[in-house]
Copies of this chain bind each other. A is one copy, B any other.
Amino acid sequence: MGVTRAQVAQRAGVSPAVVSYVINNGPRAVAARTRAAVEAAIAELGYRPNALASALRAGSSQSVGLLIPTRTDPFYANLAEAVEQRLSAAGYLVLAGNTYYDRSREERYLRTFLDRRIDALIMSAGISLAASGDPALEELPVVVLDAVPADSLYSSIAALESDDAALAVEHLQRHGHTLIGCIAGPRNVGVEADRIRGWRRQQTAGGAPAGDELIAYAETSETGGESAASALLRRRGRPSIRHGRRPTAFFVTSDIQAVGAIYACSEMGLRVPDDVAVVGFGGTRRAGYTVPPLTTMRQDVEYIADVATRELLKHIKSPGQAPYRSRLRGNLVLGRSCGCDLRPHGASEPGDGRTLEAPPQVTRDHV
């Protein structure tokens, strides 16, 4: 098949070991003349080291596993790309797996990754937190995103989900809304529960209703957001909803569902924000391009990726360090879907208009 190191060595008139020294810049010095000869041979033969062999021997595959729900959700697509760019720049290949919020898929991918001897793992919490009990996991640097794992072996960097949700809801309250529906992703997803909790807390604090009849769970997709919104809007007249009125606003736990919710309103002939106000969660670029632009609680995925990558590389280099844990505060990016009247027709620069808080607030609690 390919050219091997032995062939290069022969051609350069040196031993195979020297070729390694040249390629890896160590661990031992090579005379300038010899190095030149080896490099010439490498170029002439078009030699490329076999990454599999070197990984096997060295015990490091130069790859990192990444587990996320799905890249069909732009939030995770952005997060994954941000992580990949950084790890790729650091010389690592990212092995990615979509879990679809499904525990068995999560475990299957994790196992595949471990079998391939990943050097570290980044996982967006999802469901199971990979409590797979696999001993190989114990020795691996792990960063958990968007959840704080009970197991304090892992590093984590997560949003203050429920606080952020509460802030988003509070913003709607300031616009005068009390009957604020909550559109959320699947029940079994940890972050969803946190965000719902924030909604409930803030509603309760504001003396507004926070009953289950105001919550609709749906798949994290445009379609899910659409059906959840229309379900809540059709509940008008139910005795459980005060005064028999329908919600005048939605707090939506993902931007992608918010896109569907806005669509649903429009299809029912309701205007956003006049008839129904909408606030999303995530802060993806897409949120800036709904009509009207979506107000959303932004999570800074670039920053998250920065920190996650830096920590991971640090732990790979020197294992056994104390795990790093931090929680970030999001910032509300104002569009017009909430009722704010910024940038009237004809203005520019959507999506990153005014923000309520400086990005991103960091709270640390080192463990």
Binding site for B on A (CB under 8 A): 1-2, 46, 48-53, 55-56, 59, 61, 70-72, 74, 77-78, 80-81, 84, 88, 93-98, 111-112, 114-117, 134-136, 139, 221-223, 226, 259-260, 262-263, 266-269, 285-286, 288-293, 345-347, 350
- Complex A-B, nearest 3 residue pairs according to Cβ-Cβ distance, in ascending order: A51-B115, A222-B289, A263-B289
Q: Say whether, besides A71-B80, A77-B77, A117-B50, A259 and B289 are in contact (CB < 8 Å).
A: yes
- The quantity of this chain's copies bound in the complex is 2
User: Contact between A71 and B81 (Cβ–Cβ < 8 Å)?
Assistant: yes
Report B-chain residues with C-beta under 8 Å of the C-beta of A71: 71, 77, 80-81
List 16 contacting pairs A-B, 8 Å CB cutoff, sorted by A.
Answer: A1-B139, A48-B115, A52-B55, A52-B56, A53-B56, A70-B81, A71-B71, A72-B77, A81-B98, A94-B96, A223-B285, A226-B350, A266-B292, A267-B347, A267-B350, A291-B291
A97 to B89, CA, bound (A): 12
B289 close to A346 (CB less than 8 A): no
A61-B52, A93-B112 as given contacts; A263 in contact with B350, CB under 8 Å = yes
Q: Which residues of B contact A267 (CB under 8 A)?
A: 345-347, 350
Whether B135 pairs with A46 at a CB distance below 8 angstroms is yes
Instruction: Name A48's contact: one of B51, B74, B111, B288 (CB within 8 Å).
Output: B111
Query: Contact between A136 and B50 (Cβ–Cβ < 8 Å)?
Result: no
Residues of B within 8 A of A49 (CB): 115
Tell me which of B52, B221, B223 contacts A52 (CB under 8 A): B52
CB distance from A221 to the nearest CB of B (A): 7
Q: Are A2 and B350 in contact (CB under 8 A)?
A: no
Complex formed: what's the CA distance from A285 to B72 in Å? 10
Roughly how many angstroms separate A97 CA and B347 CA in the complex, as a whole number?
A: 36
Which of B134, B222, B269, B293 touches A286 (beta carbons < 8 Å)?
A: B222
Interface pair B286/A259, CB less than 8 Å apart: yes
What residues of chain B lie closer than 8 Å to A114, measured between beta carbons?
A: 48
| Chain B residue at smallest Cβ distance from A347 | B267
Is the beta-carbon distance between B61 and A72 smaller than 8 angstroms?
no
Is the CB–CB distance between A291 and B268 below 8 Å?
no
CB-CB < 8 A to A56: which residues of B?
A: 50, 52-53, 56
| A51 CB contacts on chain B under 8 angstroms | 112, 115-117
User: Could you tell me the distance in whole angstroms from the C-beta of A19 to the nearest C-beta in chain B?
Assistant: 15
- Contacts A50-B115, A117-B50, A285-B221: A93 and B93 contacting too (C-beta < 8 A)? no
Provide the bound-state CA to CA distance between A263 and B51, in Å.
Answer: 47
Q: Are A52 and B117 in contact (CB under 8 A)?
A: yes
Contacts of A266 in B (CB 8 A): 291-292
The complex places the Cα of A135 from the Cα of B1 at a distance, in Å, of 9
CB distance from A113 to the nearest CB of B (A): 9
Which residues of chain B are near A115, meaning CB under 8 Å? Answer: 48-51
- Pick from B46, B77, B93: contact of A116, CB below 8 A: B93
